[in-house]
Amino acid sequence: MPESRKTVCWISSARYSKPLDAVASRKWQLMAGLAEYDFRIIGFATSPRPRYFREHAHFYLLPQPPTSLLRYLVIFSFAPLLLFYLVLRHRGAIIVAQSPFEGAIGAVVKSFVRVLGWPPKLIIENHNNFEEDVFLQRSIPLKGLYRALMLALARFAFRRADALRVISSSTAERARHYAPALPQLRFMTFSDTDVFQRSRRRIPVEAAEDIVYAGLLIPRKGLRHLLNAFAALDHPRAQLRLVGGAENAAYAELLRQQASDLGLDNRVHFAGALSQRELATHFASARVMVLPSLSEGLGRVVVEAMLLGMPVIGSRVGGIPDMIIDGENGYLVEAGNEAELTAALRRVYEDDVTAMGEKARAFAEDFFSPRKYVAGYRQLFELALGGAADGEMDEEAKRQ
């Protein structure tokens, strides 16, 4: 590696396949365009075997355990040693932790390495409401103890960080609560939005009748409320398509049973996990996308749906109100309020969705692009190293 390049050691709980899937490959191909940086990625393999490979970046993947608890044990047992080795071996200039909890690992390694005379900078990312989201996602025993431990790790990490990356106004506020003096930069999580921009609608939005949800099938997404609201919608030709992986199998089965109990077997379709290209096909024939989350960091799927020229219905939580202007490019409803959600669904069939879809597309094209994402990281690294100002992406980055 040329002497002028700086090593960025990246730690997250993300799962990577070999070869990388299309979205991850596109992301790291673009990141590799930051030629002054060399990326070393710690994550999880998609199998019980550890892996190392190089594809746009260096990937050091921990074995994938069968349960969430074991996954935490694996990352907190082995990732600190691996990160310590990578920072020392490659003179890591920056550690990027993709949550405050991985940030605690980065903080420990930073402290030890500093004693040895090599002080890397630590960037912590905050993508969601880390204090609550895990409890909305699945049932956790000893909830009080678990919460106390999580928050202790987060506080430990924030106290030792050099910069923060946030994705929405709500995640920025939570990060400020824990680290009011730290500089932070705000930009969206990665999406290969080029896929959605290149797609063309199969059915004009004003002629489409289907409703689509895209995201994991987990309790935090509020899907039981969506099914009840859809059942109350007096538009018999409308179909509801739920696109997303059943990460919580028991919850997914409850949704199927609920749809059956509501008499919706022929109107609710479970599409499973799809590629972004396949998701774009579903968006291209839908009238509206619905994201009824109870908690949400940002919801990049909102931007993806808007790029296909249709409005979005979203809960008034997290970063969703950063993207949806009620009555202009979509509709905002209170989380869990099924009557409001049904009313919004009805409006979709009454209002001028063509005009709303045009406004939605214009907003999405201005809000995010893969090039802006990479430019955001360039500025974030400069911020951590002491050469950029706090805030959102600067004007040069926004023009990328």
Q: What value does the mean pLDDT take over residues 226-252?
A: 95
Which band of pLDDT confidence, cut at 50, 70 and 90, is reported for residue 400? Answer: very low
pLDDT in tens, 6-19: 999 999 999 999 99
Task: Specify burial of residue 59 (Cβ count, 10 A radius: 0-12, 13-18, 19+).
Answer: buried
Using 50, 70 and 90 to split pLDDT, how confident is the model at 394?
Answer: very low
pLDDT given for residue 396 in this prediction: 42
The DSSP result for 41-56, as a single string, is: EEEEESSSS-EEEESS
Higher pLDDT, 163 or 3: 163
> What's the pLDDT band for 215 if we cut at 50, 70, 90?
very high
Cα separation, 400 vs 396, in Å, equals 7
Decide if pLDDT at 52 tops 60.
yes
Residue 189 CB neighbours (<10 A): 17
Cβ atoms within 10 Å, residue 165? 25
CA–CA separation, 106 vs 303, rounded Å? 31
317 pLDDT more than 80: yes
So what's the pLDDT on residue 135?
A: 60
